[in-house]
Amino acid sequence: MAEERGSRSGSGPKGRGNSRGGEKGGPRRSMFRRRKVCKFCTDKIDHIDYKDVKMLQPFIPERAKIIPRRISGVCAMHQRTLQTAIKRARLLALLPYVTD
């Protein structure tokens, strides 16, 4: 078994090699993407009110799904409180569960 592993060609894991099909030998450059900052931390908002629908609406798109924090840029603590506030607002019919 160990002899079979050593006989594979390629330098990457599982013998696949490091080069990609479309690249032309140069190092891979990644685009610089600015890190998103939490809207609630910058405005120093401690409590997210479920009755404030105007504040919650940017975090709910047309499909009425809650936007994940990797897209919205909200920190983990505020994402949890935002999630409960959206769910409470939905329960009281301030926000829709789904679109028509």
Higher local confidence (pLDDT), 67 or 30: 67
CATH number of 33-100: 4.10.640.10
What six digits make up the tokens of 31? 């685009």
pLDDT for 3 beyond 60? no
Question: What are the residue ranges spanned by the domains of the chain?
Answer: 33-100
Angle (nearest 5°) at CA 63 between 39 and 47: 30
Of the listed ranges 6-20, 48-62, 83-97, the one predicted with least confidence: 6-20
Residues 6+ apart with CB under 8 A from 78: 38, 40, 41, 45, 48
Residue type, 1: M
